[in-house]
Structures are given as structure tokens and as C-alpha cells.
Amino acid sequence: MADILSVLSEYIITGDPLILGAQISIVFASIAIVAGLTYFKKWKWLFSEWISTVDHKRIGVMYMISAIIMLFRGGVDALMIRTQLALPGMKFLDAQHYNEVFSTHGVIMIIFMAMPFLLGLMNLVMPLQIGARDVAFPVLNNLSFWAFFLGAMLFNISFVVGGSPDAGWTNYATLATTPFNAGYGINFYLLGIQLSGVGTLMTGINFIVTIMRMRTKGMTLLNMPMFTWTTLITSLIIILAFPVLTIALALLTFDRLFGSAFFTLAQGGMPMMWANLFWVWGHPEVYIVAIPAFGIFSEIIATFSKKRLFGYNAMVGSILAISFLSFLVWVHHFFTMGNGAAVNSFFSITTMLISIPTGVKIFNWLFTMYKGRISFTTPMIWAIAFIPNFVIGGVTGVMLAMAAADYQYHNTYFLVSHFHYVLIAATVFACFAGFIYWYPLMFGHKLNERIGRWFFWFFMIGFNVCFFPQYFLGLNGMPRRIYTYSAADGWTTLNFVSSIGALLMAIGFLILAYNIYYSFRYSKREVSGDAWGQGRTLEWATTSAMPPFYNFAVEPEWNDHDDFYAQKEKNKVRQYTEKDYKPIHMPSNTYFGIAISFCMFIGAAGLVFYWYWLGIVGLIGIFACMIYRSFTSDDGYYVSVEEIAAIENKIKADQAADKGGEA
């Protein structure tokens, strides 16, 4: 027994009451989930309707549920950070635990929250906007989600088993190489992100093929909805940037697991090469999570201003320019790390240049609202709030782009405030806005507007109270990543105010959670596909609020940017009857995605703990799944005209009953 306890103590984290609480919570939550599924006899439903699904809408919902869970986890990390820094000399976290918390906070929020949230919205909306039945490769879509999800789970179990990574979200060598960091935490970082990144890369390929090959009749590239354009450009950045991260993670994994020396200085490696490879991926990654946000705000602002998006072609051009320049600015992340004046000057100029197409978009949105008949719905107020907050982040970004000035700002809380003003104001605000805006497509009802406004004001005010003081903390010399400070430093008041802001943001998140529950219980169920009554694009042209699994009974036609809105204005929305229906080909559900992803998870988990035999078992499982798939023929199935007619007639009957009830 003593030997067993000794072995377990090597892998299971003990001695910290916070981690013990997390371990107990995980056990009880797992028991509750298993008990609930068993009691309500939902195991078959879970596997047949969700785990094996290839329906892009359900996969999008699973991405967003995962992202909201990660938002909670990353938010708890943020509260722990702000609690530790609220007052001088706090003992809430020790130095090691603080390093782990801020390291995992960054990774979770960017890679496991922001990206999957946006990928979820893309999965949900983009195929509908182009009039497609599904994505080009539905099985690959299922595989992509499970690779992401199990990669996220592998990373997240590190804080209760094995130990969390503690070298920052950037994981700089030599902090992450074996001579200086021999634990398991960095392995969790490398292999969890690697597995998740494989899923993201496959998603990028899938979306590009879908948009290029599956647009409905009449939809050209230059009359696609703006969110579809941003999905296309984001996917292109993904397939160009993520291979760099994949290689960097693989090289550092070889250093740690097999004794190579790509980044190990003592053996002739180049630690700065990691910084270059990381940020060659890392800065395009900022735009991977920002460009879709621009598409979301474009859709919302045009919809609730009741106007066509101003300067559509200029908007497309500016986003293309941003995507190109995003690969030419990575050195601004380490101006202070020994580059020459010429190198710093070049990257300083390219960084400033990127503000020009960004400014173009700001004016596009402002002119769209100008003289519009604005409806101040909750998605719209998130979109309006984004503009001034993002501008603050952008202006301070130009300040950081000046290489000489960056020597003062670098690695201070000025930088921390800047990237939170960019990423929260753009990405998180957009996630909330898009989630609320397209919520009827997922669940058939809108979120409560009154509660939604409470959520907005708590979160938006809390955000500014939290991060605006950090600009002044940075100018007063407070370095990032420190876990304590003294009263003599003069940072107490601003840190305390900042921590209050973090608490307000947490209250806002709880209000969102309550709104989801309240709306599920009490909100009116929508029967029309155009849930807001102001839809301009094809996702609102479906016959029901929650589109049927085949999306459209008849393939729609598209002739202009806002063709659906134009049809409604002219009262020319086409109504289809049974004689218009034809059999629809649909893909079959599959367990291939979760099977091969689980094999990758098993192999990666083995390598985390240097159990090479388990890594080999996982590799064998991967090849077995691939061979099985190669010899399996599944051409999907056809939805008969009779089934389509039955579904559409039921939708029409529900709509007629709803109108009768209102009368």
C-alpha cells in the first residue's frame, strides 16, 4: 500500500487546498453527469445525436459549450491572479502556483476558449450563410472537434494530475527545456496544444473547401456575407500559421522526450528560435481570433442599423491587407531581445501599417450606423461598445509599435492592458454578441433582453475598471508576471481597483449563465426562421428558428449582398411547395472522429509521463482507425421527398398555430 501511495503521489497533486477542492469538484461533477445520463436514460441519445454527429450546427454548439466551460476555468484563474495582486504581500498563492495559474490562464483563454468559440459560430452559421447542406468534409469536422476537445482536456487535467505548465503561455525556452523544467507540466502544454492544433488545422482546410466549392446558386465571392468572408480569410491564416506552431511544438517535444537540442543552449541549441517560431504563429493567431470578430460585428451592425454594410469592398480589402501584414510583424513581440536597429525599424513600420486597414473598418462600421434606424438590442450594444474599447487597444498598440518606446513599455502591465483591450474588446465581446445574436438558431428562442443588458453593463464596466488602471501600473513600472509587491512600490490602489473590476466581470458571467437558464424556462419559442425580424442573410431564411438537419428544403438562390432582406422589402420571398422538393443527400453519423481522437489522446497522455509504450499503443490505434476507415464505404443517405414534406408541413402548422394564438 505504501508503494502504491508513493507512486500516486508522484502524479497526483497534493498539499494545496485549492487543488484538492478542484479534485473533489471534478469527482462529484463526473458522478453527477454519469448519474444524470443513467437516470434519464440519455446515453443512447448522447452517443447517437451528439458524439457521433456530423451536423455542422450540432458540432458548432459543442464547440461553444466547450468554450464556455473553458471561459469559466480561465476566468477562475484570472480571479485567482487578481486576488493575489489585490494587496501587497498577499499569501493567497505562492510563487510556483502563481506561475502555473497565469500560464494556464493565457493558454486556456486564447487557444481553448476564444478559438473554439469562434470556430463554433463559424460551424453554426457559415454553411447556412452560403446555402449549403453541411461542410465539405463532415466526418473531418467531427474529427476536428474531438481532436480539439480531447487536447483541451489533456491540457486541463494537468492542474490536478502531473502539474500545470509554468513557463507562461508563450512557453519560452530555456524556461521550458528539461534542464530547467523537468516536471510533466510542459509536456502537457506541448502535447495538449499539439492535439488541439491538429483539429484546428483540419477545420481551416474544411472551411476553405466549403466556401470555395459549396456556395449556393448566384453567390459569388464578392457578394458573400461578411462573416463568411472573415471565415474564409481566417481559415487561410490557420493553414499558413498553424504548421509553424506544429513544428515548433514537435521540436521542443523531441528536446524533452528524446534528448535532442533544437532549443537547449548548453548543447548548441537556439532558444531564440523558439521565440521566432512561436510568434510567427502567435501574431497571426491574434488575427485568427480577431478577424471573425470583425465579421460578427459587421453582420450585427448592418442588421440592427437596417442598412447595407458601408464600403463592403473596402472592408474585404482591409481584411485581406490585415491577413497579409499579420505575418510581417512578429518581431515586435521581442524588440528588446537583441535585434539590430534595422530589424526593429522594419517591424516597427509594418506594425504601424496594420493600423491603417484596421482604421478603415472602424469607419465602415460608423458610417453603416450613420443615419440608420438603430435597434439597441443586446447584440447591438455589444457591437457599439466594441468600437471605443478596441480603439483604446489599437492606439496603445501603435505606441508599443515604436521600438524605442517599447523598451519602456515591454513586459510591464501597460502591455498586459493593451492585449486585453484588443482581445477582450474584439474577441470576447464578439463571442458574446454572436452567441446572443445567433442563439435562436441553436435553441429556438432568444435570450432575455433585460437580463442581457444587466450582463452587458456588469461585464463591460468591470472590464474597463479592471484593465484601464493597468496602463498606469505599467507606466509606474509594475512588471508583468510578478506574484507579489510591497506597499512601498505605490501600486496598491490601482491593483485593488483592478481586482474589483475582475469581480464585476465574474458577476457578469454569472448573469449570463442565469440568463441561459431563465430563457430556457420562460422565453417565447420562435417559429419563424427570421427570429429577429431583421435578418439580411441566408441563415435567417430557413423555414424554422432551428433549421432542419438538411438546412434548406430547396437550395436557395442569392443575387446580392443582402438578398434576403431585399426580398422581404419587396415581399418577394419565395414560398416552396411539395412539387419543388427533391431527395436530399446527407452524410451519415460516425464514431470514427472520437475513436481516432481518443487514440491520439491516449498516445499523447503516455508521452506526457514518458510512458513510451503507451505512446506506441496510441500510435497503433491511430493507424488501426485509419486502416478501418480506408476499407469502409459510407456514401451517406438520401432524405426522401415524403420526409422533407412531412418536416416542412409540421413547421408550417406550428407557424400557423402560433399566428392563431397571437390573434
Are 35 and 128 in a shared domain? no
Any idea what DSSP says for residue 60? H
CB distance 81 to 499 below 8 Å: no
Inside any domain, residue 364: yes
pLDDT over 90 at 636, yes or no: yes
What percentage of the chain has pLDDT greater than the value 90?
Answer: 85
Per the structure, the complete domain to which residue 403 belongs is given by 51-589+633-661
Q: What is the pLDDT of residue 357?
A: 96
Specify the number of domains making up the chain. Answer: 3
Average pLDDT of the chain, as a whole number: 94
Q: What is the pLDDT of residue 150?
A: 97
What is the C-alpha separation between 230 and 319, in angstroms, rounded?
Answer: 8
pLDDT over 80 at 9, yes or no: no
Provide the residue type at 99 as one letter. Answer: N
Are 20 and 149 in a shared domain? no
What is the C-alpha separation between 366 and 363, in angstroms, rounded?
Answer: 5
CB distance 562 to 536 below 8 Å: yes
CB distance 200 to 240 below 8 Å: no
Are 174 and 292 in a shared domain? yes
Find where cell 496602463 sits: 471
What is the C-alpha separation between 619 and 604, in angstroms, rounded?
Answer: 9
Name residue 151's beta-bridge partners: none
Provide the residue type at 245 as one letter. Answer: L
Are 24 and 123 in a shared domain? no
User: Which whole-number Å values give the CA distances from 21 to 84, 278, 332, 448, in the listed order?
Assistant: 18, 34, 41, 34
Any idea what DSSP says for residue 445? B
Any idea what DSSP says for residue 337? S
List the one residue out of 154, 7, 111, 150 whose CA is nearest residue 608: 154
Provide the residue type at 202 as one letter. Answer: M
Inside any domain, residue 329: yes
Are 448 and 594 in a shared domain? no
pLDDT over 70 at 3, yes or no: no
Q: pLDDT band at 604, cuts 50/70/90?
A: very high
CB distance 526 to 446 below 8 Å: yes
Which three cell numbers, joined as nine digits, stand for 13?
A: 497533486
Three-state SS for 486-550 is CHHHCCHHHHHHHHHHHHHHHHHHHHHHHHHHHHHHHCCECCCCCCCCCCCCHHHCCCCCCCCCC
Nearest 5°: the CA angle 237, 238, 240 is 65
First to last CA, the chain: 73
Which three cell numbers, joined as nine digits, stand for 105?
A: 490562464
Q: pLDDT band at 14, cuts 50/70/90?
A: confident
Inside any domain, residue 494: yes
Q: pLDDT band at 344, cuts 50/70/90?
A: very high
Choose between 419 and 663: higher pLDDT. Answer: 419
Cβ neighbours for 443, distance < 8 A, ≥ 6 positions apart? 520, 546
Are 410 and 476 in a shared domain? yes
Cβ atoms < 10 Å from Cβ of 480 = 17
Are 624 and 494 in a shared domain? no
Q: What is the pLDDT of residue 8?
A: 58
Which three cell numbers, joined as nine digits, stand for 429?
A: 465581446
Sign for the CA dihedral angle at 201, 206, 212, 217 comes to negative
What is the C-alpha separation between 167 and 163, in angstroms, rounded?
Answer: 12
Are 45 and 141 in a shared domain? no
Name residue 12's beta-bridge partners: 161
Alpha carbon dihedral 133, 139, 141, 147, in 10-degree steps, equals: 170
CB distance 191 to 82 below 8 Å: no
What's the full length of the chain, in residues?
Answer: 663
What value does the mean pLDDT take over residues 613-620? 97
pTM of the predicted model as reported, rounded to 2 decimal places? 0.96
Inside any domain, residue 459: yes
CATH code, domain carrying 439: 1.20.210.10
Are 27 and 132 in a shared domain? no
Are 550 and 575 in a shared domain? yes
Q: What is the pLDDT of residue 477?
A: 95
What percentage of the chain has pLDDT greater than the value 70?
Answer: 98
Inside any domain, residue 8: no
What value does the mean pLDDT take over residues 454-469? 98
List the one residue out of 500, 332, 338 whose CA is nearest residue 402: 332
Q: pLDDT band at 662, cuts 50/70/90?
A: low
Find where cell 457591437 sits: 383
Inside any domain, residue 657: yes
Inside any domain, residue 370: yes
Q: Which of 338-342, 436-440, 444-448, 646-650 has the lowest mean pLDDT?
A: 338-342
Are 527 and 544 in a shared domain? yes
Q: What is the pLDDT of residue 7?
A: 54
Cβ neighbours for 434, distance < 8 A, ≥ 6 positions apart? 121, 125, 296, 300, 379
Residue 159: strand, helix, or coil? helix
Inside any domain, residue 175: yes
Are 531 and 600 in a shared domain? no
pLDDT in tens, 535-551: 999 999 999 999 999 99
What is the C-alpha separation between 291 and 422, in angstroms, rounded?
Answer: 12
Which three cell numbers, joined as nine digits, stand for 287?
A: 488575427
Please confirm whether the linkage preceding 174 is cis (ω < 30° from 0). yes
pLDDT over 70 at 208, yes or no: yes
pLDDT over 60 at 663, yes or no: no
